Structure 1
């Protein structure tokens, strides 16, 4: 059994990726303010210099999870399948160098599995193996992920949609409120952001502005 496609599309609209090191203020305050601003999914990415480890990481994750559950927002974990299983997270997001998707599916069952892809071949393989959604990027230049691939704009999203491929897609990489509309126009179901929310002077307002751009066509219709 797989996660519901309609639910996935809704969850991808405003997708926050964050860890304790990505924030100007207390990370839990960022989570609360981002939720107030309308985020629809949170990916916990606790890695890099000064990231939490061991019991501190687990405690932080549980606090984030508690806040997400209070508001019905799925929490997924970046890369670490065992940690996602231990937390009973709602899913995991994996890259091309992580565990093979079939192995992840065996461990996590019907929970959400997203896969980062950078070309048509990777996208097709992820779909064939049962990914619930594709993360495509970096759409624009980003300083958040130091090992990011080359910027590719919205071309791959356009290509997949032009071929009639309907799998849920989220665009990621350098996306701001000013750029979100172009990503949605290309055929994405939502945008994934880090610093556009976590480093904002007003986190709630930043999230709200992004969500407005993502849902603007729905509002018109």
Structure 2
């Protein structure tokens, strides 16, 4: 399974202006093809049911649902926190959150990472300090796997800046979740990602992936 590129949507139903499946459906209509299901406060059964519903939305367009945490909830793709588990589970696609060079150095068989926070973010006020495009670029050059930029990516200009810095895509949350028209916002971000030249540098340092 190829890893996420372009615009990746992270869910947060508490910030969404509509029921979460409606927001995801609108984002998919806007061109989003990768969704990371968070909602870790839900019960196991409730989260599994939501995962199934989101997969039904993504399936007709060839999209992929990634589940935050080690349990793929019936799928084959997960996104893990920096804290663990290590080693990662053996699945078709595994991502991990990273914030600095030390966390990047711990990677083993992960397929991609998110690097954050790139910009100050409304979703997590005070979270940081923000890396900025320069800090993102530095970590992207250190990473042995593709990097998604996360944190405060709320408009086309920031999407372009992240890809110019070396990310292969961006992970967005509040810009779409809080939007009155999530389809339009998603379409603008997707268009910016498609138009921006990707300057990602993938350093394998002798690791055969």
Q: TM-score, normalised by structure 1?
A: 0.80
Distance of 1:63 and 1:171 partners within structure 2: 27
Structure 1 unpaired stretches of 5+:
none
- 1:172 is aligned to 150
Aligned length: 196
- Superposed CA offset, 1:152-198 (max 9, x none): 112343224556x5621100001012311111110100010001111
- 1:196 is aligned to 175
Give the C-alpha shift of residue 121 in structure 1.
2.2
Alignment check: 8 A CA contact 1:23 1:199 kept? yes
Alignment check: 8 A CA contact 1:119 1:156 kept? no
> Would the alpha carbon gap of residues 61 and 19 (structure 1) be closer, same or farther in structure 2, given more than 3 Å must change?
farther
> Would the alpha carbon gap of residues 162 and 57 (structure 1) be closer, same or farther in structure 2, given more than 3 Å must change?
closer
- 2:28 is aligned to 35
Give the C-alpha shift of residue 54 in structure 1.
4.0
- Superposed CA offset, 1:71-111 (max 9, x none): 211111112x13x1xx22231111122311x2x32xxx242
Structure 2 unpaired stretches of 5+:
198-209
**Two-structure CA RMSD over aligned residues (Å):** 2.1
Higher helix share: 1
Q: TM-score, normalised by structure 2?
A: 0.84
- 1:112 is aligned to 93
- 2:66 is aligned to 76
Distance of 1:145 and 1:111 partners within structure 2: 30
Alignment check: 8 A CA contact 1:74 1:90 kept? no
Q: Does 1:216 align with 2:188?
A: no
